[in-house]
């Protein structure tokens, strides 16, 4: 038997099917060609290159795990692998794909009318139309069920009022999927860009996820036609089911960022010399690398196991919480350890590590904070709810 690969130490590769490998490789190639050459610039300038959307669409990555309407209809593991490769480039790109596919297209696919699906999904799958997902508000984050945004009937129309905060893709979106309380419970509304009474403002001065647009959405007596509402869902079940989809992508995505940090640190440790020898020869550095490798390998097996369960239809939301909690927490630890191996070089954009590290701070918080996922697991095992 050959010695283990330093990155895929447990040969997880051998557990993947040929189509899964092909998708993984094509996304990896795309990231090498289109993301890595410019990511430092985009991160520094705080820009997401909107034009890349159609390229992601051309690769079949937008809404890739959905069926029909121009979507690729891959299995969940392939979607996870794509998220991992994108996030090995930058969390901003994985966030774009997660929001587009799992938070904007998924609710239209699952809960939309035939007209809504026809109107939006093919263009969104192609990257010609961009979507966003408005759930969080300035005063409602971890507890979205207390949202203030409201939709009220005015004849056949709806009037939407409220503010959504921290919305990925907000100002570049052609359609916002917005969740608001109505007299029937929480409903989802499709709000096209340019609708009178709907405005956006980007959130400035972010030090994390800089190559991603994050915006505030404001609805001020925004009048919508009767058919703007998603007909097939009422209540928090709607937005929570979308979050569960997106969290699954994060379970994999975070490992991409972690892998990039580990590979960078490993290469650096082999070549950087101090005290007349490579720093990788010091026991303390080896301990760091070994710990990174252990967590990366465990995280991969966990992601793959959850992916196989998702494809079998047996995956529970609490199991996704376990995956998100573990893999993001460990990815952040790996990034921090990698940063120390790079010494002073670790704090510059010359290396990807601090960019990933800063990005992962957002990933730790969005789609349910690590504390909330901890409490979801606590409730699952004790039967006692500690978060409300
Ligand atoms: C870059 C970025 C992009 C985002 N994109 C989107 C998007 O596209 N759409 C969207 O709707 N939202 C988005 N979000 C918002 C994100 O989902 C929220 O930030 C997240 O849900 C946490 O809410 P909060 O920031 O208001 O923190 P809070 O809920 O105020 O929490 C603050 C702290 O208190 C802790 N806490 C809260 N409640 C409890 C409790 N019961 N027990 C223990 N600890 C608790 C939290 O864990 C956290 O540590 C984004 C956020 C970021 C940073």
**Per-residue pLDDT in tens (0 to 9) along the chain, 388 residues:** 899 999 999 999 999 999 999 999 999 999 999 999 999 999 999 999 999 999 999 999 999 999 999 999 999 999 999 999 999 999 999 999 999 999 999 999 999 999 999 999 999 999 999 999 999 999 999 999 999 999 999 999 999 999 999 999 999 999 999 999 999 999 999 999 999 999 999 999 999 999 999 999 999 999 999 999 999 999 999 999 999 999 999 999 999 999 999 999 999 999 999 999 999 999 999 999 999 999 999 999 999 999 999 999 999 999 999 999 999 999 999 999 999 999 999 999 999 999 999 999 999 999 999 999 999 999 999 999 999 9
Beta strands in 26-144 (DSSP E): 131-134
The span from the CA of 248 to the CA of 322, in Å, is: 10
The predicted model scores a pTM of 0.98
Distance 177 CA to ligand 1 centre (A): 18
**Quick one: which atom of ligand 1 is closest to the CA of 168?**
8
The span from the CA of 268 to the CA of 274, in Å, is: 12
Q: Is 387 in the pocket of ligand 1 (CB under 6 A)?
A: yes
Which two three-digit tokens encode residue 80?
A: 């996870």
As annotated, the active-site residues are 367
Q: Is 285 in the pocket of ligand 1 (CB under 6 A)?
A: no
Q: Is 209 in the pocket of ligand 1 (CB under 6 A)?
A: yes
The span from the CA of 17 to the CA of 76, in Å, is: 12
Cβ–Cβ under 8 Å, residues 327 and 250: yes
């Amino acid at each position: 038997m050959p010695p283990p690969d330093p990155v895929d130490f447990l040969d997880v590769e051998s557990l993947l099917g040929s189509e899964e490998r092909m998708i993984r490789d094509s996304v990896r190639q795309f990231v090498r060609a289109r993301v890595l050459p410019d990511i430092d610039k985009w991160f520094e300038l705080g820009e997401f290159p909107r034009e890349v959307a159609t390229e992601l669409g051309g690769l079949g990555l937008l809404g890739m795990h959905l069926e029909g309407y121009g979507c690729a209809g891959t299995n969940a593991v392939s979607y996870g692998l794509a998220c991992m490769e994108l996030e090995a480039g930058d969390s901003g790109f994985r966030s774009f794909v997660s929001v587009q596919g799992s938070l904007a297209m998924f609710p239209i696919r699952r809960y939309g009318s035939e007209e809504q699906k026809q109107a939006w999904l093919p263009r969104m799958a192609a990257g010609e139309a961009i979507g966003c997902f408005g759930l969080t508000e300035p005063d409602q984050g971890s507890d979205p069920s207390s949202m203030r945004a409201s939709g009220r009937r005015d004849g056949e129309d709806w009037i939407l009022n409220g503010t959504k905060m921290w919305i990925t893709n907000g100002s570049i979106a052609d359609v916002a999927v917005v969740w608001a309380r109505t007299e029937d419970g929480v409903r989802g509304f499709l709000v096209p860009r340019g609708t009178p009474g709907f405005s956006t403002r980007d959130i400035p001065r972010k030090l994390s996820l800089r190559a991603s647009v994050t915006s505030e959405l404001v609805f001020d007596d925004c009048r919508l036609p009767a058919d703007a509402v998603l007909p097939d869902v009422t209540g928090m079940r709607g937005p929570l089911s979308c979050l569960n989809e997106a969290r699954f992508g994060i379970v994999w995505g975070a490992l991409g960022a972690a892998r990039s940090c580990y590979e960078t640190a490993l290469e650096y440790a082999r070549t950087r010399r101090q005290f007349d020898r490579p720093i990788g020869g010091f026991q303390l550095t080896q301990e760091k690398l070994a710990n990174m490798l252990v967590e990366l390998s465990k995280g991969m097996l966990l992601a793959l196991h959850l992916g196989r369960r998702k494809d079998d239809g047996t995956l529970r939301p609490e199991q996704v919480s376990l995956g998100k909690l573990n893999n993001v927490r460990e990815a952040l630890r790996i990034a921090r350890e990698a940063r120390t191996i790079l010494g002073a070089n670790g704090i510059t954009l010359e290396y990807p590590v601090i960019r990933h590290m800063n990005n992962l701070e957002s990933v730790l918080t969005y789609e349910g904070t690590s504390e909330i996922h901890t409490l979801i697991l606590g409730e699952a095992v004790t039967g006692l709810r500690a978060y409300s």
